[in-house]
């Protein structure tokens, strides 16, 4: 018997290669949250954020839903975790909304690499990937 389960799903798509839509879903034994972020690829800034807390264990959890719009304007180029915590987390927010937001950003990063294959030449992609991922894991360890 499982005492607890959790699933987080992130889907990323684009129609114009300039704006990316990130849909995130967080589902566990006690919670159900959904989040949609629109991100400008050139500036790497969240331009809009919408979502819903569909199920939560406490009646006051629903108040944190209004914080989702605070994600608009987050600059994904630096201090992402801190910006997201300030926007939707900490003692006045929701740790699960913070987690889902961060997972959406991770999914966006993966999609950004896929988007490169649609907009750049292979050698240019390779150079950027090597530079960006250097030191991030065993494969990209240069020491």
Query: Residue 82 burial by CB count (10 A; 0-12/13-18/19+): exposed, middle or buried?
Result: exposed
97 belongs to a structural domain: yes
25 belongs to a structural domain: yes
87 belongs to a structural domain: yes
61 belongs to a structural domain: yes
Mean pLDDT of the chain: 92
Band of pLDDT at residue 114, cut at 50, 70 and 90:
confident
Query: Residue 97 burial by CB count (10 A; 0-12/13-18/19+): exposed, middle or buried?
Result: buried
Q: Count up the domains in the chain and report the number.
A: 1
Band of pLDDT at residue 143, cut at 50, 70 and 90:
low
126 belongs to a structural domain: no
82-98: average pLDDT: 97
131 belongs to a structural domain: no
Query: What are the pLDDT digits (tens) for 48-81?
Result: 999 999 999 999 999 999 999 999 999 999 999 9
Residue 109 neighbours by CB distance under 10 Å:
14
10-32: average pLDDT: 95
Q: Which pTM was predicted? A: 0.89
What DSSP string describes 58-92?
Answer: SGGGGGGGGGGGGGTT-BTTS-HHHHHHHHH-GGG
76 belongs to a structural domain: yes
Q: Tell me the CATH number at 103.
A: 3.30.390
Q: Residue 51: give the domain boundaries.
A: 6-117
């Amino acid at each position: 018997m499982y005492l607890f389960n959790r699933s987080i799903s992130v889907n990323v798509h684009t129609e114009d290669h300039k704006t990316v839509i990130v849909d995130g879903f967080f589902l566990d034994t006690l919670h159900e949250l959904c989040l949609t972020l629109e991100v400008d690829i050139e500036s790497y800034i969240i331009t809009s954020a919408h979502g819903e807390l569909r199920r939560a264990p406490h009646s006051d959890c629903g108040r944190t839903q209004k914080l989702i719009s605070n994600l608009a304007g987050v600059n994904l180029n630096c201090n992402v975790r801190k910006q997201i915590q300030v926007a939707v987390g900490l003692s006045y927010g929701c740790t699960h909304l913070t987690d889902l937001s961060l997972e959406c950003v991770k999914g966006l990063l993966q999609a950004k690499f896929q988007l490169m294959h649609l907009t750049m030449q292979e050698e240019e992609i390779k150079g950027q990937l090597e530079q960006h991922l250097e030191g991030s894991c065993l494969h990209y360890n240069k020491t």
